[in-house]
Amino acid sequence: MSRLNVPSPDDVPDGVKGILDNVGAQFGFVPNMFATLASNPTVLDVVMTLQGTLSRVLDAKTRHTIALAVSQANGCDYCLAVHTYVSSELGGMSSDDIHLARAGSSIDPKRAAVARFAQRLVDSRGQVSDADLAAVRGAGYTDPQILAIVTVAVQVLLTNFINNVNQTDIDIPAVSSVGTP
């Protein structure tokens, strides 16, 4: 059961209702995370702005790979469910690639390097090694792209932390834990 209060639809400001309506149009319903965030319109705006802005960096499958790898490394069941759903239903990723991303890999060698790097970011709290940087560069990523990878990972960590604190009720099909393939 979620630990933070979710405002009733009648208790959210008009501007927030519009944001929730847009989220609902995208998913077909308003996921519990967004309903919870509606209790603090500024935090909802920060999350939505970050997600919108970061949708312009890197390609969608790379962003989904990062989200899955980070959510797995950070143990966020809610985010794993959401990102699995989004990656599959909206992002065109196969179930094999989703499984691999969660385990820090990918069917695509370049995205595999991103998944490993993203998990190293979480595991090392950003204190990645020279070898970690060399590996992601060796896969073809430039320093500006590495900055984008780190920023997407941090945005995912933000929602991981929110959902881990809240223990947000999973309203998207839950996923099982994944080991290393």
pLDDT of residue 168: 96
Residue 179 has pLDDT above 70, yes or no: no
pLDDT, tens only, 55-98: 999 999 999 999 999 999 999 999 999 999 999 988 889 999 99
Residue 135 has pLDDT above 60, yes or no: yes
The domain spans of the chain are 9-54, 60-166
* Cα dihedral 78→82→83→89 (10° resolution): 160
pLDDT of residue 177: 57
Whose structure tokens read 């094999």?
A: 96
- Residue 108 exposure: Cα atoms within 13 Å on the Cβ side: 15
Region 99-107 average pLDDT: 96
Look over the chain and give the mean of its residue pLDDT values, rounded to a whole number: 93
Contact call for residues 101 and 115 (beta carbons, < 8 A): yes
Widest Cα–Cα separation across the chain: 52
Lowest mean pLDDT among 15-19, 141-145, 159-163: 15-19
* Cα dihedral 94→95→96→101 (10° resolution): 90
Q: 60-166 — its CATH code?
A: 1.20.1290.10
In b/e form, how buried is each residue of 5-44, taking b as 16+ CB within 10 angstroms? ebeeeeebeeebeebbeebeeebeebbbbbbbbbeeeeeb
Judged on CB neighbours under 10 Å (0-12, 13-18, 19+), 64 is buried
Q: pTM of the prediction?
A: 0.92
Q: 9-54 — its CATH code?
A: 1.20.5
Whose structure tokens read 């390609």?
A: 59
Angle in degrees, CA 68, 118, 150, rounded to 5: 110
pLDDT, tens only, 62-73: 999 999 999 999
pLDDT of residue 181: 38
